[in-house]
Structure 1
Amino acid sequence: MHTSHRTRRPKKDAVQGPSAGFVADSPALSLAIHAPGQFGRVAIIDITPQAEDGVFPMRVELGETFDVSAQIFTEGRSTIGADAVLRTPHGRITQRLPMHCVNPGLDRWSVQLQAGEHSDAKPWQSDWPSIKRQLGNWSLTIEGWRDVYASWLHDARIKVAARDDIENTLQTGATILRRWAQSTDSGLHARNRRVLERAAETVADSGQDENARLAAADTPVIEQLHTTHPLREAVSTVSRPVHVQRPKSSFAAWYQFFPRSEGAHLDPETGEIVQGTLRSAVSGLERAAKEGFDVVYIPPIFPIGTTNRKGRDNALTAGAHDPGSPFGIGSELGGHDTVDPLLGTMDDFKTFCRRAHELGLEIALDFALQCSPDHPWVKEHPNWFLHKPDGSIAFAENPPKKYQDIYPIDFNEDMAGIERETERIMGLWIDAGVTIFRVDNPHTKPVRFWQDVIAAVTRKHPETLFLAEAFTRPGMMRALSYAGFTQSHCYFPWRNSKRDLSDYLPLTNGDAAFYQHNTFWPTTPDILTDYIRDNGVAGHAIRAVLAAMGSPSWGIYSGYELIENRQRAGYEEQAGNEKYEVKVRDWSKAEGSGIAELLTSLNAIRRRHPATTSYHNLSVLRTDDPNIIAFCRHTPAEFTATGKPDTLVVVVNLDGHNAHQSMVHLELGDYGLPTDQAIPMHDELTGRSFQWGWDNFVSLAPWCDVAHILSVEY
C-alpha cells in the first residue's frame, strides 16, 4: 500500500557521447492544476457515480462496499495506471487500491471500495463515539499516472526480438529502472531498491547478451513490484466527496406496529375494545426483537382531533367509540409535542424507548406535518394554513380523495417559523429516545423546507435518520434524498412480475442508490396489493424473501405474520384499516402460517452475510421460466470480516399456486468461482446442500419451497 502521495522528480540521466548535454528519458511531466476543470497530464473524466455535477456527494453506510469508475487516458499510446484513494474526514487514508481497465476501448477504469468497517453500534451504546468520529464527508481521490515501465517493457520486447535499435532501447530501460529505485512515491523498501538497481546495471551493460539484459528487467520479482509499488509519473488527481453515514442508514430491518393495538382487548362486560398503551406496547417491541428486526416504527402518538374525525375504513362519520386516525393530529390536549393521554405520558414513552434500546431496537417515530382542526397551531398560527376566500381553512385533498379531518400546512407566509417549530419538536422527541423520523408525505411540502430542517436537526443530532414516505415522481424522490432523507418508501409493492422485478432490482441496487435508498415493504397500512390478496401464505413468503434479499433495507407491517390480506372493496388497502380502528389480534395464531419463522430466518441470514448489506452488488441471473426470478449478491474476500468472499444466489418462484422449474445460469467467473468444478451450495432456508455449475436446474413449489437462498460454501 502506498503511503506517500507526492512524486519527487529523480535526478535526470545524461546520455554520454555525441549528444552529451541533451537530457534523455526524463520523467513524464506533471502538470499543476490551478483551477477546477483543468486537466492534468492524465485526463480523468466521467466519474461515476456523480449527481448534479458533483453538487451532492454520493452516500454510503459505514462499511458498505461500492463501485467507482471513470474514464482515464493520456495522449498517444502510452500505458497508464490508476489508483483510488479513500480518506476519512480527518484525512487518514483507509484504502488505496489499484483501478482496473474494464473497457479498454472506452478507457473505463473501475474499482470496488469500502468506507470503513461495518458496525451494528447503536447511538446509545458505549462504542458509539468511535463510530461517530468516522461519519461525515470522506474524500475519494482518483489518481491517474503514466506507467513508463510498462510502456517501455512492451516496446523493448518487440524491439529486442526484431533486433531494432536495441542499445537505445535498453539504455532507456536502465534509466527508468534507476528512476524507479530512487522514487519516494513508490514506497519501496531498501532491498527492493537494490533489486531494481542491480537490474538497471545489467540492462545498461552493453557487454552482455541483449536477451539477458532484457530478461534482467523482466522478472517475476520486478513484475510483483510493478503491481504493488509501481513507478508512477505525471500523477494527475481528481477528488470527490463521499458522505459516509451511520449504521442503519441503509442496511436496516424495520417493523411497524400501532401501540394502541398492542395489548388491546375486548371488555368482557361491554364488548367494546379497550385500546393498548405505551406500556402494553412493549409486547410489540419484544416480538420485533424476537423476529430479528432492528428498527421499530410507530405512527403518530399525539392527541387526535375530534372535529371531522374519521370512522372505520375512512368513513366520514365516526362512531361513538371510533378512535380516529392518528394522522389527524392535535386537540385541546396538545399537538405534535404531546403524548396522547390514551397511550400514556411522556415518561411512559421514554420508558418505552429505553426498553427498545435494551432489546437492541431503534425507535422511528412518524412525523406527519399536518393538523386536525383542533390543533393548537390553528389558533396560535392561523397564517400557517391556507384559507379559502370565505375565511375558512381548506382541508387536505387529493381529488377525488378528501381528508376532512386534516388541515395541510401552507408555507407561503412563515416557512422560517414552521422550520423552527419543526426543529424544536424533533429535538424534543430525540431527547426522549427517538433516533429516526419516518416523515409522512414529504413530497407535499417544499424540498427546501426539508433540506433546512434536516440540516439543522442533524447538526445537533448527527445520529438522526429520516425515512421518506414519498410515493411520487422520480425527480421528487431523488430531490428528497438530496435534501437529506436517508431512506425512502418506493414502488416495490407493485413490482410483482418477473419482468418488473428484473428491471426494478438493478434500479434499486444501482448507481441511483448512492443517493436514494429504497426500502422494500410488502405491505403497509395504506397498501395491500392484489398480489398479496390473491396468493395467500405463499404470496406472503414470496414477497418477504424478495424484500429482505432484494434491498439492504426492508420492512414488515404488523399483522403480516397473521396473513391479514382482506382488501377494502375497490381499494388496494386493508379492510378494517388500522389507521381508523384499534386491532385486536390473536398472536397465538401466528405460528400456523410459518411467516413469523420465515421473517426471523431472513433477518438472521441478512446478519450472517455481508453480501446483503450493499446497494451495489446485485446482478439478475438468466432463467428460462417466466415465473422464476434469480439474482446474485456478491462481496469479494477483501471486504468481508472472514477474509472469504460472500456469494448468495436467490431463486424465487413468483407463482403462489403452482410449481415451476427453470434452468438458472450462473456466470461463475464473474463471482470469482472456479469454472472447472462443481460449486457446493448451502440453502440458508432449509439447510440442504446442492452442487452448482454454469447452468442449474431448479424446481420450486409454493406448498414446499417458494425460494432458495443459496450461499457458496468455500
Structure 2
Amino acid sequence: MGRMVVQHRANSRTSHTEQPSKAEPAAQTVKVSTTSKTTKSKATSRPKAVKPTTNAVKSATKPAAKTAAKAATTKATAAKTTKTAKATHKRVDAETARANAALKGLVGEAPAPTIEVKELGQFGRINVMDVTPDEERGIFPARVELGEPFKVTAQVFIEGRTKVGATAIVRNARGRETLRRRMMCTNPGLDRWEVTLKCGEHSDLKPWDEGYAAVKRQLGEWTVTVEGWEDTYTSWLHDARIKVRVLDDVDNALNSGAELLARWAVTLDAKLTVRDRKTLQQAAETMADESLTAEERLAAGDNPQIAALHETNPLRDGISPSQPQRFKVERPKSSFAAWYQFFPRSEGATIDPATGKIVQGTLKTSIAGLERAKAEGFDIVYLPPIFPIGVTNRKGRNNSLVAGPDDPGSPFGIGSALGGHDTVDPLLGTMDDFKALTARAHELGLEIALDFALQCSPDHPWVKQHPDWFRHKPDGTIAFAENPPKKYQDIYPIDFNADMEGIEKEVERVLNLWIDAGVTIFRVDNPHTKPVRFWQDVIAAVTKRHPEVLFLAEAFTRPGMMRALSYVGFTQSHCYFPWRNTKEELEEYLPVTNGDDGYYQHNTFWPTTPDILTAYVRDNGIAGHCVRAVLAAMGSPSWGIYNGFELLENKQRPGFEEQIDNEKYEVKVRDWSKAKKYGVAEMLTALNKIRRSHPAALSYHNLTVLESSDPNVLAFARHTSAELTGTGQADTLIVVVNLDGHDAHQSMIHLDLDKLGLPTDRPLAVRDELTGREFQWGWDNYVSLAPWVDVAHILSVQ
C-alpha cells in the first residue's frame, strides 16, 4: 500500500508499553456480565488447564519416578495458577467491587482488538498510512536539532462511521519513550492527522562546554510511531446524545456507556491515576442506575471532567502502530544558529602613514572580530580560506585578470610554494596563532567555521604531487576552472574520476587537522561541483571520528542537487533568500523553507555575502538593511551576516550583483566607529537577543503566513505550544514588515486565533520586542509602519 504501511516490530516495546497487553482482556472481567460473549472472553483469558489424558499417556511410557515427578509438577503449576488468580482477585479495590455490582448483568460490545502485524504490508485493526516526513521511502531520516519542535502527519481511518484517534510516540536512540501526544484531525475529508513533537530538550551547550557529554548521549537516531486507535468513547457519546434527546433505546445506550467507562477505568494503556479510575468507576455506576433520569445518567459520562480524561488518558481500542519513522537528532546549532563572517586579513588592517599602503590584518588582530561578533549576539564566526594564496594567474582588484604588485589575490586561489590546504598563510600567522584564535573564540562561546574550498591554484603542492587529480586538455596543460562566460584562471578544479578514493583520504586528513586545531564547522565552497558520493564518504568518515562537526553547503544550484547534499550530511545550506524580496516571493518562499523541506535542507538566510549584493539592499538604504535583517533572523532558524553590513557597504560593481571593491580580491580597512550612526548593528544585536529569548524562533516547522491587505506589508507568525517550549508557557511571535524602504504603509493583519492556538475569548496583549511598546490584538488588526520610525514589529503574545 503506497509508501507507508502498518508494520509491527517483533522486538517492539510498543507491545508492552503503548498497546494493551495480553493480560488486559482478563482485567476487563471486573465488569460482571452474564452474556455468553463476555463469559467466552473470560474463559479464553484464563491459563489453559492441564490435559490429564495426555499426562496419562506419557506416564505409561515413563518410569514411575518420572511419572510421580511430572504429577507433582503439574499439581504445583495448578496450585500456582490458583494462587495467582486469587492474588489478582484481591487487587480489586472496594470502589471497583461496588462498580462491578452495579454493572452486573449489563450487555456490552466486544472492544476492537489489537491485531498483530506479522509482515510488511499488513494492516492492523485501524488503518495508518502516509506518515510524514518520509522522503525517499525513509532511506534518509528527517533531521532535527535536539529540542526543535517539528510536525508529523498521517492518514488514520477505520471502516464505516466509527470514530478513530491517533497518538504519536517519540522514542530516543535507546528505544525509551520520551514523549506521547494526541494528534489532531486537521482534514476529516482526507483523514489527515497532525501533531507537533520534539526529541529531547533544547540546549545551547557547545562541544567543548562542561556538560556537553549529556547532550552527546541524546544524539542519534530517534523514532516516531503513529498509533491509530478506535475512539470508542467518542463514537458512543455521539450516538448516546442523540438517543437521549429523542428518547430512542435509551437504556441500552446508557448501559453500554456504563460498561465502556468501567472498562476504561481498568485499562492499563490509559495510564490512569487512582483518582482518575475512581472518577470513571463512579461515573459508570451512576450511568447504570436506572432509577435516575436519562439526562442525569448521560451527564455522568458527558461532562468536562470526563472530557479532560478523554483528552489526556483516552480509552484506546484496537491500537495499530505505524512503521516507526526515523529522525536523526543533531547537536545544538545544527538548525538554530547565527553566523558572522569576516576576513582575517581585513580585521585590524591599517594604512601605513609613511607609505600610504595597506598593512593587512592577522589572526592575532582578528580577535577584535570575534569580540564584535559576540557583542552583536552571534554564535558562529565563519572565516574564508586562511591558506597560502597562489601567485600564478593571481587575480587583481574587482576580479581583474592582472594583479598589481600589492594585490593580495583571492583566498580561494589556494596553494603556493608555502603549502596548501593544511597550511596557514604566513601573512596571517602560524598554526599556533590559529589555535589561539579558536581558543579565544571558545572562551567567548563562539564556534569557528572554516571555509573549505576544494580547488587549487596552479602553485598548489597537489599539482606536482598528484597530477592525476586534475583534468588535462589534449595539449597536456591542466584546465583552469570556468563556467562560460566566467573564467577562473587562478584556479584548477579537481577531477574525481581518476582517483576519488585517494582524494577522499587526503581531504579527510586535512579536515581532521583543522578539527584538531579547534574548528567545529566547515562551510564548503561550491560542493555541487563535486560528486555527491564523494561528500557522502568524506562526511561519514569525519563525523564518525568527530560527530560534533557540522557542514554548511554553499550550493546555489538546482533543488535536486541541494536536497542530495543535505541527504549525505550537509547540515545547513545557502539558499535563494537574497533574491526573494517582494511580498509574493516571500509568502511563497518562507513556508517552503519552514516546511517539509526543513527536515532535510536547513536553509541559512544571508542578506548579503562577499558574492551577493542585490538591488534591494543597494536601493533601500538603512531601512532596507534592517528589513532584510529582520526577515533573515525571523524567517529562518539559521541566519548569517557578512561584516560590513553594519557600515552600509552597498555599492555594486557595475553590471554585477556583487560589491565594488570586493573583499575577495583586496584588503578592506574599516572604521568601525561609524557603525553607531547607522544603527544597523543595534538592530542585529536586538534580533539575536529576541531569537535567544523565544522558543518559537527555534524551529523550521512552526511558521504561518498571515493575511495582510497592503502589497508592501508582509506578516507571519511563529508558534510553539506550551508542552514543547520547555518553559511551560506557549510562545508566539508575530512579525510584520514594511518591505518599502522609502514610504510608510498601512495594513490590516488577520490572525486565525484558533489555528495558532491563541485565546479567542479575550483580546491578546502583545509586546513589540524591538521597541517595548504594548498593544492589544485580536482577529483583525491595523498596523502602520514608516521606514524612518519602524521598519517592522516583532510582537510577542504575553
> What range describes the TM-score normalised by the shorter chain of this pair?
over 0.9
> 1:329 corresponds to which residue?
414
Matches within 5 A, 1:25-64: 25-64=109-148
- Once the two structures are overlaid, the 10-residue window that deviates more, 358-367 or 696-705, is 696-705
Which amino acid is the alignment partner of residue 355 of structure 2? T
Asked if 2 retains the 8 angstrom alpha-carbon contact of 1:385 and 1:408, the reply is: yes
1:264 aligns with 2:349: yes
Q: Deviations over 1:386-416 (max 9, x none)?
A: 1111111111100000011111111111111
Matches within 5 A, 1:171-320: 171-204=255-288, 212-238=296-322, 239-320=324-405
Q: Distance in 2 between matches of 1:400 and 1:262?
A: 33
Name the Cα RMSD after superposition. Answer: 2.1
Q: Deviations over 1:466-515 (max 9, x none)?
A: 11000011111111111111111011111111111111111111111111
Work out which of the residue numbers 601, 613, 628 in structure 2 matches 1:543: 628
Q: Please state how far the C-alpha of 1:37 moved relative to its aligned partner.
A: 2.6
Distance change >3 Å, CA 698–CA 167, structure 1 → 2: closer
> 2:793 corresponds to which residue?
708
Which amino acid is the alignment partner of residue 213 of structure 2? P
> 1:4 corresponds to which residue?
17
Q: Please say which structure displays the higher CA radius of gyration.
A: 2
> 2:179 corresponds to which residue?
95
Distance change >3 Å, CA 165–CA 673, structure 1 → 2: closer
Q: Deviations over 1:286-321 (max 9, x none)?
A: 111111111000000111111111111111111111
- Once the two structures are overlaid, the 10-residue window that deviates more, 369-378 or 176-185, is 176-185
Q: Distance in 1 between matches of 2:273 and 2:234?
A: 21
Which amino acid is the alignment partner of residue 673 of structure 1? L
> 1:660 corresponds to which residue?
745
Distance change >3 Å, CA 316–CA 187, structure 1 → 2: same
Q: Distance in 1 between matches of 2:287 and 2:752?
A: 44
Q: Distance in 2 between matches of 1:676 and 1:222?
A: 23
1:512 aligns with 2:597: yes
Q: Distance in 1 between matches of 2:696 and 2:276?
A: 38
What is the identity percentage for the equivalent residue pairs of Structure 1 and Structure 2?
A: 68
Which amino acid is the alignment partner of residue 153 of structure 1? L
> 1:586 corresponds to which residue?
671
Asked if 2 retains the 8 angstrom alpha-carbon contact of 1:4 and 1:187, the reply is: no
Asked if 2 retains the 8 angstrom alpha-carbon contact of 1:532 and 1:540, the reply is: yes
1:450 aligns with 2:508: no
Q: Please state how far the C-alpha of 1:236 moved relative to its aligned partner.
A: 0.6
Matches within 5 A, 1:489-508: 489-508=574-593
Q: Distance in 2 between matches of 1:453 and 1:19?
A: 63
Work out which of the residue numbers 500, 511, 515 in structure 2 matches 1:426: 511
3-state DSSP of counterpart to 2:269 = coil
Which amino acid is the alignment partner of residue 579 of structure 1? K
List gaps (5 residues or longer) in structure 2: 1-13, 42-107
3-state DSSP of counterpart to 2:566 = helix
1:625 aligns with 2:710: yes
> 1:80 corresponds to which residue?
164
3-state DSSP of counterpart to 1:139 = strand
Q: Distance in 1 between matches of 2:548 and 2:319?
A: 38
Which amino acid is the alignment partner of residue 397 of structure 2? R
> 1:370 corresponds to which residue?
455
Which amino acid is the alignment partner of residue 10 of structure 1? P
Q: Please state how far the C-alpha of 1:164 moved relative to its aligned partner.
A: 4.0
Q: Distance in 1 between matches of 2:507 and 2:182?
A: 46
- Once the two structures are overlaid, the 10-residue window that deviates more, 620-629 or 175-184, is 175-184
1:348 aligns with 2:363: no
Q: Please state how far the C-alpha of 1:201 moved relative to its aligned partner.
A: 4.4
Q: Distance in 2 between matches of 1:236 and 1:545?
A: 45
Asked if 2 retains the 8 angstrom alpha-carbon contact of 1:4 and 1:184, the reply is: no
Which amino acid is the alignment partner of residue 666 of structure 1? L
Q: Distance in 2 between matches of 1:678 and 1:213?
A: 38
Which amino acid is the alignment partner of residue 745 of structure 2? H
3-state DSSP of counterpart to 1:259 = coil
Distance change >3 Å, CA 655–CA 171, structure 1 → 2: closer
Matches within 5 A, 1:677-696: 677-696=762-781
Distance change >3 Å, CA 231–CA 401, structure 1 → 2: same
Q: Distance in 2 between matches of 1:467 and 1:66?
A: 21
Q: Distance in 1 between matches of 2:640 and 2:224?
A: 32
Distance change >3 Å, CA 186–CA 564, structure 1 → 2: same
Q: Distance in 1 between matches of 2:495 and 2:525?
A: 16
Q: Deviations over 1:607-646 (max 9, x none)?
A: 1111111111111222222211111112222222332222
Q: Please state how far the C-alpha of 1:668 moved relative to its aligned partner.
A: 2.8
Distance change >3 Å, CA 166–CA 482, structure 1 → 2: same
Q: Please state how far the C-alpha of 1:711 moved relative to its aligned partner.
A: 1.7
1:641 aligns with 2:726: yes
Q: Please state how far the C-alpha of 1:213 moved relative to its aligned partner.
A: 4.5
Asked if 2 retains the 8 angstrom alpha-carbon contact of 1:205 and 1:213, the reply is: yes
Which amino acid is the alignment partner of residue 466 of structure 1? F
Instruction: Give the TM-score of the pair, scaled to structure 2.
Output: 0.86
- Once the two structures are overlaid, the 10-residue window that deviates more, 691-700 or 4-13, is 4-13
3-state DSSP of counterpart to 2:513 = helix
Q: Distance in 1 between matches of 2:591 and 2:39?
A: 60
Work out which of the residue numbers 99, 113, 125 in structure 1 matches 2:209: 125
Q: Deviations over 1:650-670 (max 9, x none)?
A: 111111122222222222333
Which amino acid is the alignment partner of residue 127 of structure 2? A
Q: Please state how far the C-alpha of 1:86 moved relative to its aligned partner.
A: 0.9
Q: Distance in 2 between matches of 1:163 and 1:666?
A: 43
- Once the two structures are overlaid, the 10-residue window that deviates more, 645-654 or 358-367, is 645-654
3-state DSSP of counterpart to 1:669 = coil
Work out which of the residue numbers 470, 483, 506 in structure 2 matches 1:385: 470
Which amino acid is the alignment partner of residue 417 of structure 1? G
Work out which of the residue numbers 150, 154, 160 in structure 2 matches 1:66: 150
3-state DSSP of counterpart to 1:671 = coil
Q: Distance in 2 between matches of 1:174 and 1:665?
A: 45
> 1:155 corresponds to which residue?
239
Q: Distance in 1 between matches of 2:146 and 2:563?
A: 21
Q: Please state how far the C-alpha of 1:591 moved relative to its aligned partner.
A: 1.2
> 1:651 corresponds to which residue?
736
Which amino acid is the alignment partner of residue 572 of structure 1? E
Distance change >3 Å, CA 44–CA 680, structure 1 → 2: same
Work out which of the residue numbers 100, 104, 107 in structure 1 matches 2:188: 104
Work out which of the residue numbers 218, 221, 227 in structure 2 matches 1:143: 227
1:575 aligns with 2:590: no
Q: Deviations over 1:69-103 (max 9, x none)?
A: 11100112211111111111122222111111112
Q: Please state how far the C-alpha of 1:190 moved relative to its aligned partner.
A: 3.5
How many correspondences in the alignment?
712
Instruction: Give the TM-score of the pair, scaled to structure 1.
Output: 0.96
Distance change >3 Å, CA 99–CA 340, structure 1 → 2: same
Q: Distance in 2 between matches of 1:20 and 1:506?
A: 53
Q: Please state how far the C-alpha of 1:350 moved relative to its aligned partner.
A: 0.3
Q: Deviations over 1:531-588 (max 9, x none)?
A: 1111122211111111111111111101111111111111111111111111111111
Which amino acid is the alignment partner of residue 633 of structure 1? R
Q: Please state how far the C-alpha of 1:219 moved relative to its aligned partner.
A: 4.5
Distance change >3 Å, CA 149–CA 361, structure 1 → 2: same
Q: Please state how far the C-alpha of 1:63 moved relative to its aligned partner.
A: 1.4
- Once the two structures are overlaid, the 10-residue window that deviates more, 476-485 or 649-658, is 649-658
Q: Distance in 2 between matches of 1:165 and 1:701?
A: 67
Q: Distance in 1 between matches of 2:539 and 2:240?
A: 60
Asked if 2 retains the 8 angstrom alpha-carbon contact of 1:10 and 1:179, the reply is: no
